[in-house]
């Protein structure tokens, strides 16, 4: 069986302290050089990410979290077609130019007729309000914990395209940090 093609879409602003958790995570994953895993890093998600997401079996979104579980949380979003159905009754953006992970998945289904499975890895951060490069020490520790859990998932493809029922349990083996 062909291993799932995985796209890591990490986002955040490295010039805003812990908001850089996503790009820092992307840089680490890239260094692993896992076959079949493509890494993309940007300030934020936007609609054209849907075109890229449509080319993969699994999309892992990686972002900083300013609230929620420590040190990290992994949430299964389900398949793109499920996201499209759910988002049709979802919310509206006030003035954001960015897209939510669910929007990217939904657009991949609606516009490009693809059906990747999606996950969100949310790494908890603490300092967001000031300009400055570098993660806070606590965020750095959270990132290390997230990476330690994530590496075997990517290498072993635990984040499988078939392991992400909408709203279902995450495929993560780690007990701490999971979020449903």
Partner 1 sequence: MVASTTNGLKRVVIEPVTRVEGHGKVTLLLDEQNKVHQARLHIVEFRGFERFIQGRPFWEVPVLVQRLCGICPVSHHLAAAKAMDRIVGGENLTPTAEKMRRLMHYGQFFQSHALHFFHLVSPDLLFGFDADVAIRNVIGVAAKYPDLAVQGVMMRKYGQEVILRTAGKKIHGTGAIPGGVNKNLSIAERDFLLKDAEQMLTWSRGALKIAKDYTVAKLDELKDFGSFESNHLSLIGPGGEMDLYHGGLRAITATGEKIFDHVDYQRYLDYIAEEVRPWSYMKFPFIKSLGPEKGWYRVGPLARLNTADRIDTPEAEAARREFMAVTQGKPNNISMAYHWARMIELLHSMEKIHALLHDRDLQGTDLVVRGPRREETVGLIEAPRGTLFHHYVVNKDDQIVRANLIVSTTNNNEPMNRAVQKVAQDHLSGKQLTEGLLNRIEVAIRAYDPCLSCATHALGQMPLEVELVAADGTLLDRRTRG
Chain residues binding partner 1 by CB under 8 A are 12-16, 18-19, 41-44, 46-48, 50-51, 63-68, 84, 87-100, 103, 106-107, 110-111, 120, 122, 125, 128-132
Nearer to partner 1, 31 or 131 (CB): 131
Query: 51-83 burial, b if ≥16 CB within 10 A, otherwise e?
Result: ebbbebbbbbbbbbbeeebbbbbbbbbbbbbbb
Nearer to partner 1, 34 or 107 (CB): 107
Dist CA 55 CA 126 (whole Å): 34
The least CB distance from residue 110 to partner 1, in Å, is 4
Nearer to partner 1, 21 or 37 (CB): 21
Nearer to partner 1, 4 or 118 (CB): 118
Q: Report whether 135 contacts 46 (CB < 8 A).
A: no
Q: For residue 124, give the nearest of 168, 170, 179 by alpha carbon.
A: 179
Cβ atoms < 10 Å from Cβ of 172: 23
Please measure the distance between the N-terminal and C-terminal CA atoms of the chain and give it in whole angstroms: 29
Dist CA 82 CA 164 (whole Å): 11
The least CB distance from residue 149 to partner 1, in Å, is 18
Q: Which two tokens stand for residue 172?
A: 């993560």
Nearer to partner 1, 4 or 76 (CB): 76
The least CB distance from residue 32 to partner 1, in Å, is 21
Dist CA 176 CA 126 (whole Å): 19
The least CB distance from residue 3 to partner 1, in Å, is 27
Nearer to partner 1, 2 or 89 (CB): 89
The least CB distance from residue 58 to partner 1, in Å, is 19
The least CB distance from residue 98 to partner 1, in Å, is 4
């Amino acid at each position: 069986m062909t291993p799932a093609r995985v796209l890591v879409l990490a986002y955040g602003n490295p010039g805003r302290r812990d908001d850089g958790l996503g790009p820092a995570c992307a840089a680490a994953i890239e260094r692993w050089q896992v076959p079949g895993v493509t890494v993309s890093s940007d300030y934020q998600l936007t609609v054209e990410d849907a075109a890229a997401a449509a080319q993969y079996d699994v999309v892992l979104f990686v972002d900083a979290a300013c609230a929620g579980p420590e040190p990290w949380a992994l949430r299964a979003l389900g398949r793109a077609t499920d996201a499209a159905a759910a988002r049709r009754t979802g919310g509206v953006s006030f003035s954001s130019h960015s897209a939510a992970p669910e929007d990217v998945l939904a657009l991949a289904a609606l516009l490009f007729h693809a059906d990747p499975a999606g996950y969100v890895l949310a790494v908890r951060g603490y300092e967001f309000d000031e300009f400055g490069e570098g993660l806070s020490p606590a965020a750095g520790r959270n990132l290390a914990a997230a990476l330690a859990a994530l590496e075997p998932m990517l290498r072993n493809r635990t984040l499988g395209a078939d392991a992400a029922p909408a709203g279902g349990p995450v495929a993560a083996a780690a007990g701490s940090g999971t979020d449903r």
